[in-house]
Amino acid sequence: MLRPSRLLVAVAAAIAAAGCQGPLHYTGTEHYSVVQGFETRRPPDVAVLAVSGQLPEEAATALREALRARLLDLKYAPVRLQEVDRRPGDYRPGGSNAVLEVNVSKWDDFGLYGDGTVVLTAEVRLFGGGSMDVLYRGRLEDVPVQASFVASTVEDRPTTLSQAATEAAGRLLHRLPVKGDG
């Protein structure tokens, strides 16, 4: 027969073990839309605008660079970021060039250097050149993204941030059609 103190310890251990089974799950949502006839309006070049919203400057920079890299993966020709920053009047929604606009309303990076997780609420919109038509829209609401590498030292933190931004960019552009050769 177990003593009351040992019984208490055993019950506490069982409860703790039951609560630690597997990763945490979040109830985030993802919404994507692609304009009908996208194939005929698909822009060859896309300028990625500076990320706006509620996130640290280094996270905004990492996300912008990750979005540009993801566009390259999808066979688009993203305009160099230095060019966009040097001539911002040439790169704006409704201007002559296609632009990708990103607004982040939540960048909860509390777990970034613990388990590599950021909880994100953001919207990305791709505007065609010469119009205010939105060709593609991706919206994430309270969606967790996780870095594939988690920093173990302060020196490694930029890598973790970059990995989380890469995952976030992939999720934001998840349904953007590949450009292809046509």
Which CATH number is 58's domain given? 3.40.50
How many whole angstroms separate alpha carbon 106 and alpha carbon 96? 30
Q: Which of 96, 124, 101 is nearest to 33 (CA)?
A: 124
How many whole angstroms separate alpha carbon 109 and alpha carbon 155? 17
Q: What is the per-residue pLDDT for 14?
A: 46
pTM, two decimals, is 0.83
140: number of Cβ within 10 Å: 25
Q: What is the per-residue pLDDT for 11?
A: 47
How many whole angstroms separate alpha carbon 58 and alpha carbon 77? 24
Amino acid at 34: V
* 64 pLDDT above the threshold of 80: yes
> For residue range 37-51, what is the model confidence (pLDDT) as tens digits?
999 999 989 999 999
Question: CA 70, 74, 80, 86 torsion: positive or negative?
Answer: negative
- Whole-number mean pLDDT of the chain? 87
Which tokens is 105 given? 């309303």
* 134 pLDDT above the threshold of 80: yes
Residue 10 lies inside a defined structural domain of this protein: no
> For residue range 70-122, what is the model confidence (pLDDT) as tens digits?
999 999 999 999 999 999 999 999 999 999 999 999 999 998 888 989 999 99
- Please list the residues that pair with 139 across neighbouring strands: 31, 123
Residue 8 lies inside a defined structural domain of this protein: no
Q: Which of 8, 29, 11 is nearest to 106 (CA)?
A: 29
Residue 102 lies inside a defined structural domain of this protein: yes
- pLDDT bin (cut points 50, 70, 90) of residue 145 is very high
Residues of the chain above pLDDT 90, percent: 68
- Read off φ and ψ for residue 159, nearest 5 degrees: -65, -40
Q: What is the dihedral of CA 40, 41, 47, 53, to 10 degrees?
A: -130
Q: What is the per-residue pLDDT for 16?
A: 44
Find out whether 63 and 168 touch, Cβ atoms under 8 Å: yes
For the chain, what is the domain count? Answer: 1
* 127 pLDDT above the threshold of 60: yes
Q: What is the per-residue pLDDT for 154?
A: 84
Q: What is the per-residue pLDDT for 26?
A: 59
Q: Which of 146, 147, 150, 143 is nearest to 122 (CA)?
A: 143
* 13 pLDDT above the threshold of 60: no
Residue 11 lies inside a defined structural domain of this protein: no
- By residue range, what is the domain housing residue 128? 26-172
Q: What is the per-residue pLDDT for 17?
A: 44
Find out whether 130 and 140 touch, Cβ atoms under 8 Å: no
Q: Which residue has the tokens 């594939």?
A: 148
In angstroms, how far apart are the furthest CA atoms of the chain? 81
Find the mean pLDDT for residues 137-141.
98
